[in-house]
């Protein structure tokens, strides 16, 4: 359970950095508390998308991963971020990613930051 909380907080931090760095990834809210709650909920949705959908997409696009020597990972990460944005809209969360190339850059930022946070944060169950 502790590992799930740590990974969710790492995702929330990584999403926060991407929102801070890229003007086309937006998170709106009336107060800071609402923004933080929305960010945590979006991190949960992002974690579920990465847990449930990403492995299936990676399996179906395995030849593209081999052909591009893994660079297709950037495209898959962008698609997962766009799917998270779409689901957040359906769940009435105020998170939005504008455009594919923003999602590619956002996915890259999120990957690097979440990797760094997972290295620093404890990893126990």
Say what the pLDDT of residue 52 is.
94
Tens of pLDDT, residues 67-116:
999 999 999 999 999 999 999 999 999 999 999 999 999 999 999 998 89
Q: pLDDT value at position 114?
A: 87
Q: 116, 94 in Cβ contact below 8 A?
A: no
Instruction: Give residues with Cβ within 8 angstroms of 29, minimum separation 6.
Output: 35, 38, 94
Report pLDDT digits (tens) over 4-40: 888 888 899 999 999 999 999 999 888 999 999 999 9
pLDDT at 57: 94
């Amino acid at each position: 359970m502790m590992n799930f909380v740590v990974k969710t907080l790492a995702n929330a931090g990584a999403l926060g950095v991407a929102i801070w760095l890229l003007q086309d990834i937006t998170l709106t809210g009336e107060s800071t508390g609402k923004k933080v709650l929305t960010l945590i909920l979006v991190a949960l949705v992002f974690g579920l998308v990465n847990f449930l959908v990403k492995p299936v997409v990676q399996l179906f696009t395995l030849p593209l991963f081999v052909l591009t020597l893994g660079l297709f990972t950037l495209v898959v990460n962008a698609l997962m971020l766009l799917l998270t944005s779409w689901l957040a809209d359906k769940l009435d969360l105020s998170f939005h990613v504008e455009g594919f190339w923003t999602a590619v850059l956002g996915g890259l930022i999120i990957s690097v930051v979440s990797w760094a946070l997972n290295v620093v944060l404890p990893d126990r169950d």
